[in-house]
Amino acid sequence: MSPSSATSRARELLGVGSLTNKALRTWLHGLPGVDQVGIEARAAALATRSIKTTSKEWAIDTAIGMIDLTTLEGADTPGKVRSLCAKAKLPDPTDLGTPQVAAVCVYGDMVHIARESLGDSGIHVAAVATAFPSGRASLAVKLADTKDAVRAGADEIDMVIDRGAFLAGDYRLVFDQIAAVKEACARTGDEPDAHLKVILETGELATYDNVRRASWLAMLAGADFIKTSTGKIQPAATMPVTLLMLEAVRDWRELTGELVGVKPAGGIRTSKDALRYLVMVSEVAGDDWLTPQRFRFGASSLLTDLLLQRQKLRTGVYSGADYVTID
Amino acid sequence: MTRKFEYAPAPESRSVVDIASSYGLFIGGEFVDPSGGKSFKTINPATEEQLADVAEADAADVDKAVRAARRAYERTWSRLSGAERGKYLFRIARLLQERAREFAVLETLDNGKPIKESRDVDIPTAAAHFFYHAGWADKLEYAGLGPSPRALGVVGQVIPWNFPLLMLAWKIAPALATGNTVVLKPAETTPLTALLFADVCQQADLPAGVVNIVTGAGATGQALVEHPDVDKIAFTGSTDVGKSIARTVAGTRKRLTLELGGKAANIIFDDAPVDQAVEGIVNGIFFNQGQVCCAGSRLLVQESVAEDVIHRLQRRLGTLRVGDPMDKNTDVGAINSAAQLARITALTAAGEAEGATRWSPPCELPEHGFWFPPTVFTGVAQTHRIAQEEIFGPVLSVLTFRTPDEAVAKANNTPYGLSAGIWSEKGSRILAMADRLRAGVVWANTFNRFDPTSPFGGYKESGYGREGGRHGLAAYLDTEGTH
């Protein structure tokens, strides 16, 4: 979708002749408010679901298949990325039936290494772009960053929104940047476009009302996924924030018929947490979201715990950290 | 791989609790046989399985219990300092926490409520009431109720089946903290946690006769209410029985507090935080299968958002899990008794006959036991019986309003006045509405939240007197030196 078609669709949805900040503000601030106590209580209540035996087996495998196995460090090397890709393809050498993860998520300059390592495994390469994690660069730099990653073979682009512009009320600027990056995700010919994940960095948005507005703004501008966090800011993904974003994609589907994905990222480390998120996906957005096409975990250490729990279910005993490979 | 998240059964183990085959009456610190030798059965309403034989106390047994309570009051309890009384209450509170799992399982078996509610609400809140009132026991002079408030003496307490242990705690904790002794009659369908509480009293070395528990049905309660040596009656239950008790007590020296029925309005304005409001509606009427005196059984929703709210509510009800109360994932359990189920069935049939539209999510109900699906009536008018009478079941009546004035008029247009809810993002509107609603408890952007520090009680036919908080203490104290 080109920026101009994104704009015209937005004008139509909002019922306005011109997509001004004022029009966007009226629309976004007309969304229902979020009661903090209530949403946190709801998330806590969902966390009490008891997932046992066969459902636990199913949920652990489902969660593994939804992981964006991530390394986003200044110290990343080709060797580190290659070993992460090897783990993505073969998470547990003691059980070849273990599902593969959904994607490997790296910085743009590592995309070609990951692409080469993953080959035709079907595992996607996701690249963070647009001056990740702060997003403080000109649009030209952000677009170049994106195009570079797409050219190197990224299947997915994880962009950051301009939180400063959002907090200053410059919704149109945020919209335009998302729409422009979306266009930069396009490929020519038969090659599929890269999917766009839009990182809201909810830890910097401060209020649930802002998270709801940012979610809707990102979807309006063409996001394929909305993602909580970069992982570089605390708090990163939380259950209430993810719950709110799941409500947003559910409501967006009712409005437009489109299914937008959700990706909590940062801070999800245990199988227990992952299962709680899946419960939330199922009970809030619905089972249509229980697929890697619509739900991802942005995580690095989560996979290790899921594999440990998977081994425990298979063998009946806990093995230990040395029985799961480090990436 | 299938893409549907099925939750495997996650049953709570019932092995943590030993249920005796029969129970006596708890009088004077020990379990004794009833003088008439009569008993009744208590069953698990989710399966109709018989749980135990329970003694039925007659007037002679009640007399024995009141005498034991009087003796304990005169010889022991009234002579203890507040700090000493407090020590016993703290001990009971800790024991309730330590044995929480046992109490939760037993409550669910005897009552039919989901284990997650007995585990996360009933038992912890019961313990909290004992902790809270334990703290007051030596500070009554500073409660703002006069310079030297004094205990009343022997208190007769009759409690309902919807929150068996929690209602026991609401009654016994303030009575003991203020220096009274107690004869308590639990409901006939849910006596077991009260009898387990008797065990806790023994374990806590509570002096004999300070708490006495007499099991039985209406006649037992009546004997207690009519007993001449009882100084005060505290009753929670139906408005009909409450009125009858008030008539019995009229003209005697007995004091009386009543916590009766309700038909609460849960009011949703067009600026409400809608997703949280939907949760509040669900919690308001489907918590404990709607068998809650303060349940938000009338949904008053502003006409401009009614369609959206009802759509979201129905979608949410599709995810409620109805079934085995012992399963940790069950949201809605069994109705407490065949009699209650019959009442719910009759009133909902009247709702349909009078022209309201009935809706329930698809859900399979177990074959045995007493079950009723979550039910929503739309197109309800004030004049319908389902808008006027307390159903005491998982049945919501939806009405609409156009203006705040109309919301107030409709919310107050009921003989009851126990509770109400307001949902709006506008603080000034919430405060203005709360001022005008004639209800003892008004929740703002939440519903069915309970805390021992907050007084609870009704207006109009919902009763009088308050339970909890500083106000609740007054119900068990002579503050004017007249007693």
- DSSP H or E segment with residue A107: strand A103-107
The candidate with the shortest Cα–Cα distance to A223, out of A192, A188, A258, A268, is A258
Nearest CA in chain B to A291: B3
Q: What is the mean pLDDT of residues B457-461?
A: 96
Q: Is A30 on the interface with B (CB under 8 A)?
A: no
Q: What is the pLDDT of residues A73-113, one digit of tens each?
A: 999 999 999 999 999 999 999 999 999 999 999 999 999 99
Is pLDDT above 60 for A242?
A: yes
Based on the number of CB atoms within 10 Å of its own CB, is B442 exposed (0-12), middle (13-18) or buried (19 or more)?
A: buried
Nearest CA in chain A to B319: A283
Peptide bond into A133 cis (omega under 30): yes
Q: What is the pLDDT of residues B274-318, one digit of tens each?
A: 999 999 999 999 999 999 999 999 999 999 999 999 999 999 999
Q: How far apart are the first and last CA of chain A?
A: 37
Mutate to test the interface with B, among A36, A37, A50, A291 (most CBs of B within 10 A): A50
Mutate to test the interface with B, among A35, A51, A62 (most CBs of B within 10 A): A35
Q: Interface pTM (ipTM) of the complex? A: 0.96
Q: What is the pLDDT of residues A26-49, one digit of tens each?
A: 999 999 999 999 999 999 999 999
The answer to whether A50 contacts B319, with C-beta atoms less than 8 Å apart, is no
Q: Between A35, A48, A62, which is nearest B116 by CB? A: A48
Is pLDDT above 90 for B344?
A: yes
Cβ contacts below 8 Å, chain A against chain B, sum to 76
The answer to whether B329 contacts A50, with C-beta atoms less than 8 Å apart, is yes
CATH 3.40.309.10 fits B265-444, yes or no: yes
CB B199 within 8 A of CB B158: no
Confidence of residue B482 (pLDDT cuts 50, 70, 90): low
Please report the DSSP string for B386-438 in residue order.
Answer: HHHS---SSEEEEEEESSHHHHHHHHH-SS--SEEEEE-S-HHHHHHHHHH--
Domains of chain A from N-terminus onward: 3-313 (3.20.20.70)
CATH number for the region B14-260+460-478 comes to 3.40.605.10
SS (H, E, C) B291-334: CCCCCCCEEEEEHHHHHHHHHHHHHHHCCCCECCCCECCCCECC
Please identify which residue in the block is written with the tokens 């309890």.
Answer: B77
Round to whole Å and give the CA distance between B298 and B363: 23
Query: Is B102 a residue of the active site?
Result: no
Q: What are phi and psi of B113, to 5 degrees?
A: -80, 155
The candidate with the shortest Cα–Cα distance to B206, out of B157, B134, B119, B143, is B134
Q: What is the pLDDT of residues A44-64, one digit of tens each?
A: 999 999 999 999 999 999 999
Sequence ranges of the domains in chain B: 14-260+460-478, 265-444
Is pLDDT above 90 for A327?
A: no
Min Cα separation B396/chain A (Å): 21
CA dihedral A4, A8, A13, A18 (to 10 degrees): 110
Based on the number of CB atoms within 10 Å of its own CB, is B286 exposed (0-12), middle (13-18) or buried (19 or more)?
A: buried
